Amino acid sequence: MPASAVPILILVALAGLPLLWFIVNYNRFTRVTQHMHESWSGIEVEMKRRYELIPNLVETARGYAKHEQDVLEQVVALRNRAMDNHGTATSQAVDETALALGMKQFFAVAEAYPELKANIHFLALQKELANTEDRIAASRRFYNGNVRELNQLCQQFPTNLIARMFDFESEDYFELSSEAERVVPRIVAS
């Protein structure tokens, strides 16, 4: 190789490094965004499972708790509102918080009826709901981890330059109020 080619190769390598950095980081944004969408889909699957369980629990309780119709109807209304929400993670979190607090009232009502607490069908549904809540919490942590990574990329220099160039934006975390997070369906023994 002639000696005059070495400076040209060095110049090409130095010019290629920023291009390589740009390509790698653009692909990183794309990957993180896709992971975030996939993890949100996981949350939606588990919430749909919960939405299907709640009416079964309410119907099982309805026969025992005839005097508590307002609470039962409120839980169904909150479930419908949360199920119909297709907005941002923040707006979904508001509806999910309200639903969790409604379920807290529902389980308080169920505590007052020993026959209901002993009902095998009710206990099975309650156990399935508790398992679903655990899966939602795990999915929420996965989603929020992906949101954190995307937000860091959007805010840190120099990757924030790529974010601005290609309209990658920070996303909201899927966070419930701390009171709602303490609502965990308990399996009551007869």
Q: pLDDT tens string for the chain (190 positions)?
A: 677 778 888 888 888 899 999 999 999 999 999 999 999 999 999 999 999 999 998 988 887 877 788 888 999 999 999 999 888 899 999 999 999 999 988 988 888 888 887 888 888 999 999 999 999 999 999 999 999 999 999 999 999 999 999 999 999 999 987 655 555 555 444 4
The pTM for the full model equals 0.80
- Give exposure, 107-127, as e/b (b: 16+ Cβ within 10 Å): bebbeebeebbebeebbebbe
Is 86 strand, coil or helix?
A: coil
> How far is it, in rounded angstroms, from Cα 75 to Cα 115?
21
Q: What is the DSSP letter of 88?
A: -
The full set of domain ranges for the chain reads 5-181
Contact call for residues 25 and 166 (beta carbons, < 8 A): no
Q: What is the pLDDT of residue 189?
A: 47
CATH superfamily of this structure's domain 5-181: LemA-like domain (1.20.1440.20)
